[in-house]
Amino acid sequence: METIAFKGQPRTDLGKRSTKALRKEGHVPCVAYGSEDLIHFAINPMDVKDLIYTPDFKVAEIEIDGKSFRAIVKDIQFHPVTDAIMHLDFLQLEEGRAVKVEVPIRFKGVSPGVKGGGKLIQRLRRLKIKTKPENLVTEMRVDISKLELNESIRVRDVDQKLETIEILNSPGVPIASVETPRALRSAATAAAKAGDDVEGAEEATEEEATEE
């Protein structure tokens, strides 16, 4: 599992004036939750860009006053105009204590429906899971090797051999589907119409022959 390591500066003054001055200096106020007391600290936003601006699931390793702990991002506050990071909430990872996270979905296998000309539409990009830190995964692999044209694969279809992980999404939510492209639908409609015209012509010929 990829880990992003950085250092934090401990904070003791938590007032609005101090927080405003901290942001003016280009730092981001943060708090880390755990089974013990809250940890208030500040970071350089450049240190967490690979943790925040990514579709991948990553874990933070934060060092404060020579002590390190692993954590995951639980909440981010962005500036409404500039999109700059205004505040970060972290949850400390403690062995044996389950956490809820969202991890990206990755597909494996080749869909027969896609091979037949269909288009794969991904409808869900992340799965919510619950597991202990020692069993965390960076992604959930979804097998689409049996996904036919005009079919969908849903959360309940995900292979859950990993008994240490609980999927929290509703079972009926679609993850991906294979749709018939418009061009393919048009071609099928045209072929069906041509078939009907031929069948109609053959029936007319048979009727004429019968009348003679």
pLDDT at 189: 62
Q: Are 118 and 185 in contact (CB under 8 A)?
A: no
pLDDT tens readout for residues 24-60: 999 999 999 987 789 999 999 999 999 999 999 999 9
Last residue of a domain, one of 77, 93, 109: 93
Average pLDDT of the chain is 87
Residues 137 and 167 in one domain: yes
Last residue of a domain, one of 30, 65, 93: 93
pLDDT tens readout for residues 85-129: 999 999 999 999 999 999 999 999 999 999 988 999 999 999 999
Residues 176 and 198 in one domain: no
pLDDT at 25: 93
Residues 163 and 121 in one domain: yes
For the cut 80, the answer to whether the pLDDT of residue 73 exceeds it is: yes
Cα-based distances in Å from 40 to 43, 54, 78? 10, 24, 18
Furthest C-alpha separation in the chain: 105
Residues 129 and 170 in one domain: yes
Last residue of a domain, one of 93, 112, 141: 93
When divided into structural domains, the chain yields a total of 3
For the cut 50, the answer to whether the pLDDT of residue 198 exceeds it is: no
Cα-based distances in Å from 47 to 44, 88, 123? 6, 13, 32
Residues 69 and 55 in one domain: yes
Structural domain including 159 reads: 100-180
Helices and strands (H, E) in the chain, number of each type: 4, 14
Q: How confident is the model at residue 13 (pLDDT cuts 50, 70, 90)?
A: confident
Residues 167 and 191 in one domain: no
For the cut 60, the answer to whether the pLDDT of residue 210 exceeds it is: no
Q: Which residue has the higher pLDDT, 33 or 160?
A: 33
pLDDT at 89: 97
pLDDT at 195: 56
pLDDT at 181: 83
Q: Which residue has the higher pLDDT, 161 or 82?
A: 82
Residues 77 and 128 in one domain: no
Backbone phi, then psi, for 38, in 5-degree steps? -65, 145
Give the domain CATH number at 141: 2.170.120.20
- Here the tokens at position 148 are 């036919």
Give the domain CATH number at 24: 2.40.240.10
Q: Kindly provide the residue ranges of all beta strands, DSSP E only, lying in 111-173, ordered along the sequence.
A: 119-122, 126-131, 140-143, 152-154, 166-167
